[in-house]
């Protein structure tokens, strides 16, 4: 008799585990991590070179930027491009970034690339010579298909005849597609 009660109790316990597992799997899973911003965009805004290399054609320069992001699907990696213009040269910068979601429709990103000056030796918001670049920024979709972004770009040894680094700050508005 004891064995029958023990077997019945075990069967009841096991059946409740299997039944409740089926119920639990039918429930939606709450997302623990913020969603972040998906998609690609292109935008434009201001660019401000905030450093000076100490030589002629090294002055801090105020200008503009055109930037874009291509989000690689199913990945936290993006390919980006920027053109920083102002002064007598334009810095063209291809980059790869790692994007981290921090809030609904918002990412921060860090990455690197290379700055190519259209007129090497002439001032742009990011120095006056070709140089490696590190970037840190944030982006957020604030309305349907409207993105705001801001970042800092650090050009390493980005001035001719100087070992100085260049720093440029960008902000803008973009169209997400």
Instruction: Please tell us whether the domain made up of 41-176 is placed in CATH 3.40.50.300.
Output: no
pLDDT digits (tens, 9 = 90+) for 101-127: 999 999 999 999 999 999 999 999 999
Q: Is 161 left (phi over 0), alpha (psi -120 to 50) or beta?
A: left
Residue ranges with strand state E in the chain = 41-49, 62-71, 77-86, 89-103, 106-117, 131-143, 146-155, 166-176
pTM for the full model?
A: 0.79
Residue extents of the structural domains in the chain: 41-176
pLDDT digits (tens, 9 = 90+) for 58-93: 778 999 999 999 999 999 999 999 999 999 999 999
Question: Of how many residues is the chain composed?
Answer: 177
| Distance separating alpha carbons of residues 107 and 101, to the nearest angstrom | 4
First to last CA, the chain: 71
């Amino acid at each position: 008799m004891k064995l029958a009660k023990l077997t019945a109790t075990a069967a009841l316990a096991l059946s409740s585990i299997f039944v409740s597992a089926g119920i639990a799997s039918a429930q939606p899973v709450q997302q623990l991590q913020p969603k972040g911003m998906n998609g690609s965009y292109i935008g434009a805004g201001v660019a401000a070179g905030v450093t000076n290399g100490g030589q002629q054609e090294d002055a801090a320069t105020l200008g503009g930027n055109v930037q874009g992001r291509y989000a690689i699907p199913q990945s936290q990696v993006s390919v980006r491009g920027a053109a920083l213009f102002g002064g007598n040269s334009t810095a063209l910068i291809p980059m790869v970034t790692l994007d981290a979601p921090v809030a609904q429709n918002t990412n921060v990103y860090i990455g690197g690339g290379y700055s190519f000056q259209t007129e090497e030796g002439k001032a742009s918001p990011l120095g006056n010579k070709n140089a490696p670049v590190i970037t840190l920024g944030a982006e957020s979709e604030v309305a349907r298909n409207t993105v705001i972004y801001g970042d800092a770009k650090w050009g390493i040894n980005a001035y001719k005849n100087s070992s100085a680094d260049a720093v440029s700050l960008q902000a803008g508005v973009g169209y997400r597609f």
